[in-house]
Amino acid sequence: MQAENVSFTNPPPPQSPDCVPTVNKATNAKICPPRVESLPRIFDRADGKQWDYVFNCGGETRYSQEDEVYKLRSLDLSLTVGREAAKRGVKCFIELSTGMVYKPDSSPSKEQDKLKPWSKIAVYKLQAEEELAKIEGYVRKTGETVQSLY
């Protein structure tokens, strides 16, 4: 299958004017949650057509962050984009996760392997996968082998 048009987008960083950060009172860390107002910039096309495929490559990948950082930048981001894709009838929404959701092993993981997230990143990515599966219009398609990018 050939792609006619491709577009890549990233959620705005905390210093962006599009971001109104949440401040963690304990650490004073600024966290930029996904904003529904940004969705037209991601999904709307100049020609008025709908995207056939949406790949969500977003999520927090730095280690040793607080839970709230992973919740906002991984879980909430995935659910916000996934819900919008379902609402707009996108043919295929692909959520990139991590191999860290599987029990650690020396061989490549398979979709049916035991789930045992071993990092905060993986805990929130797995939660995103589970919540996305509950969205009406969301179809989960799986492959045979999953390998971690980390």
Please report whether residue 29 resides in a domain.
yes
Look at the chain and report how many structural domains it folds into: 1
CATH number at residue 32: 3.40.50.720
In a domain, 2, yes or no: no
The single residue listed with the structure tokens 């930048």 is 73
Q: Indicate whether 17 belongs to any domain.
A: no
Per-residue pLDDT tens for 31-68?
A: 666 677 778 888 898 899 988 888 888 888 889 988 98
d(CA 59, CA 15): 17
pTM: 0.75
Give the pLDDT mean for 87-94. Answer: 87
pLDDT at position 15 over 50: no
- 22 forms beta bridges with 31
User: Each residue of 68-81: pLDDT tens digit?
Assistant: 889 988 999 999 99
What tens digit of pLDDT does each residue of 102-139 get? 988 888 888 888 999 999 999 999 999 999 989 887 65
In a domain, 19, yes or no: no
Instruction: Examine residue 94 and state whether it is found in any structural domain, yes or no.
Output: yes
99 domain residue, yes or no = yes
> What's the pLDDT score for residue 29?
57
Residue 5 lies in a domain: no
What is the reported pLDDT for 150?
Answer: 31
Is the pLDDT score of 26 beyond 80?
Answer: no
Structural domain boundaries enclosing 37: 25-146
Any domain includes 16:
no
